[in-house]
Amino acid sequence: MAGRESRALPRRHLIYYLEVHDDTTGSLLGHLVDITTEGIKLVSKAPIEKGKVFRLRMQLPEDYFAGKTLRFEAKSLWSSNDVNPDFYDTGFAVAGLEAGAKEIVADLVRQFGFND
């Protein structure tokens, strides 16, 4: 879990858990728990393979964004049991978000985040 200590930006927990899908398979990977422009954490019902690069699709909250989805690539860095043993937490590094995507992430944090 070394990735947790090396994080440059503090993640923001969200009050609205957004669905995140594997854009290649269409399957639901999990729900977004917290986010920065450099990384995300998902909670899921099944463990997610570590060290894999995923093409992800996140459903954005209706009525808040012009587009309905955000697509980006992220590499799974770690995975562990959630506080609830029926779920798993997985941390992802997000690389190379375009300017528009970074603005969407910043808007998500402003509109739906809360301070730890």
> 7-16, pLDDT tens digit by residue?
454 544 444 5
What type of residue is 3? G
**Which CATH number do you get for residue 35?**
2.40.10.220
Specify the number of domains making up the chain: 1
pTM (2 d.p.): 0.79
Residue 114's CB is within 10 A of a number of other CB atoms, namely 9
Q: Give the pLDDT band of residue 106 (cuts 50, 70, 90).
A: confident
Q: Containing domain of residue 44, as a range?
A: 2-114
What percentage of the chain carries pLDDT values higher than 90? 45
pLDDT, tens digit, 9 for 90 and up, residues 45-98: 999 999 999 999 998 877 777 778 889 999 999 999 989 999 999 999 998 888
- CA gap 20, 31 in Å, rounded: 6
22 touches 55 (CB < 8 A): yes
Cα 91 off chain centre by: 8
Which helix H or strand E contains 105, and what residues bound it? helix 99-112
φ, ψ (nearest 5 deg) of residue 61: -60, 135
